[in-house]
Structure 1
Amino acid sequence: MTQDEPTATDESATGLHPALIATAIALPVALVVGIIVAAVMANRTPVREPVALGAVPSPLAESTECATLLGALPETFDSFTRAELADPAPVGAAAWQSEDVTDPIVLRCGLERPAEFDQAAALDVVDGVQWFRVSGADQGLAASTWFVVDRGVYAAATIPDGTGPTPIQALSAAVSGALPQTPLDPAPIN
């Protein structure tokens, strides 16, 4: 073979430049990878359904205090975002959802005094707001309900276990900014 004879790897023998061949292979591969990445991302951000809440006795849910509190609630905190409520949505209620937590956080305003809240009840104070906490463990729930007991209306936040302190801190900030503190009114000890 002489130097003037073309070889099998020479461009003139195939008629195609190696860069063109590489591009022809890379484009379909990139398209397939892009489709896979888009599918994975679509599954990571699921469509959120509105939160369905049942009715509970809330005689003051339509009060000015509840309207003020609902208007002061944050849209987001930690990994939670304010959620749409399914119709028929109860008056005086709000909810937040997170991609990291299965159950939503739910706040209801205008409730009756909790039956367990008596003069011997232990209270938690978070950012100046007094809360009466009821664990859901006795009912088999992995959540606790925190009742605001030192404002003109009772409000309750049901918070899934394991969410940390941020939800109660964010709700305490909203409560203290929206509602003036009032004296406690616990039931007598039976």
Structure 2
Amino acid sequence: MPPSSPRHGPDLRRPAVVLAIALPVLLALVVAGLAIAARAGAFDAPAPAPETGPLALAPVEAPEASSRACAGLLAVLPHELPGDPSLPARPLADPVQDGARAWAAEPRPVVLRCGLPRPQELTPTSTLTDVNGVSWLTITDGTPQPSLVTYVAVDRPVYVALTTPTEIGTGPVQAVSDAIARTLPRTDITVR
């Protein structure tokens, strides 16, 4: 019997079957497209801009912060540190501490302190990293997934610490290493 015989009317099952198959396939394609777009970052919010206003630093013991060596280093530090995007200098809030500089970065600023005492973590078995001719002791914040890393230059007449967020990479420590290598002579490393 033909599908539209006058006795039984048109066969309405065929369009319903096509719709029942097409609708889930279309839904699956839309979900897959959204997942691909999310992985590609199409829905990511723009990264927040780092704060650039005056930064208040907690006071730390820095007996050599006002030394000639630290003043010479601070005078040649770059105004911007390498990063993506570059990290501009950030002013320090009053009272400004001798031997300190900061750069705007997200999620936390990059902070340099010059003239610190010898770090307790520096022992005869410490692993040091050479960056552009400067020996650095690396200290993390002690968590399984560290968010901050502090590099301490240990082969110069004054100790210099550079604290950076882990997300920004090694550009800042490379730029600071270049400034240290130009201004502070290499010395023997003093351990306990």
TM-score > 0.5 by shorter chain: yes
Shift of 1:80: 0.4
Corresponding residue to 1:82 among 86, 89, 93: 89
1:96 aligns to what?
103
- 2:94 counterpart letter in structure 1: D
Count how many residue pairs are aligned between Structure 1 and Structure 2: 142
- 1:69 counterpart letter in structure 2: L
User: Hey, what's the Cα distance between the residues in 2 that align with 1:186 and 1:158?
Assistant: 21
User: Hey, what's the Cα distance between the residues in 1 that align with 2:120 and 2:172?
Assistant: 24
Corresponding residue to 1:183 among 160, 165, 188: 188
Shift of 1:96: 0.4
Corresponding residue to 1:111 among 110, 116, 122: 116
User: Hey, what's the Cα distance between the residues in 2 that align with 1:167 and 1:77?
Assistant: 5
Shift of 1:77: 2.1
User: Hey, what's the Cα distance between the residues in 2 that align with 1:46 and 1:123?
Assistant: 30
Question: CA 1:130 to 1:66, structure 2 compared with 1: closer, same or farther past 3 Å?
Answer: same
User: Hey, what's the Cα distance between the residues in 2 that align with 1:122 and 1:89?
Assistant: 33
2:30 aligns to what?
none
Shift of 1:45: 6.5
Which structure 2 residue ranges, 5 or more long, are not aligned?
1-47
Which structure 1 residue ranges, 5 or more long, are not aligned?
1-43
Q: Classify the secondary structure of the residue corresponding to 1:162.
A: helix
Corresponding residue to 1:65 among 69, 80, 86: 69
- 1:137 counterpart letter in structure 2: G
TM-score by length of 1: 0.70
Is the contact made by 2:50 and 2:104 (CA closer than 8 Å) also made in structure 1? no
1:51 aligns to what?
55
Q: Deviations over 1:130-167 (max 9, x none)?
A: 00000113498610110000000001000111111211
User: Hey, what's the Cα distance between the residues in 1 that align with 2:68 and 2:133?
Assistant: 22
- 2:90 counterpart letter in structure 1: A
Corresponding residue to 1:135 among 140, 150, 165: 140
Question: CA 1:117 to 1:139, structure 2 compared with 1: closer, same or farther past 3 Å?
Answer: farther
Q: Classify the secondary structure of the residue corresponding to 1:137.
A: coil
Q: Deviations over 1:66-87 (max 9, x none)?
A: 0001011100122101110011
Structure 1 outlier segments of 4+, above 4 Å:
44-47
1:29 aligns to what?
none
Is the contact made by 1:121 and 1:132 (CA closer than 8 Å) also made in structure 2? yes
TM-score by length of 2: 0.70
Corresponding residue to 2:131 among 126, 135, 138: 126
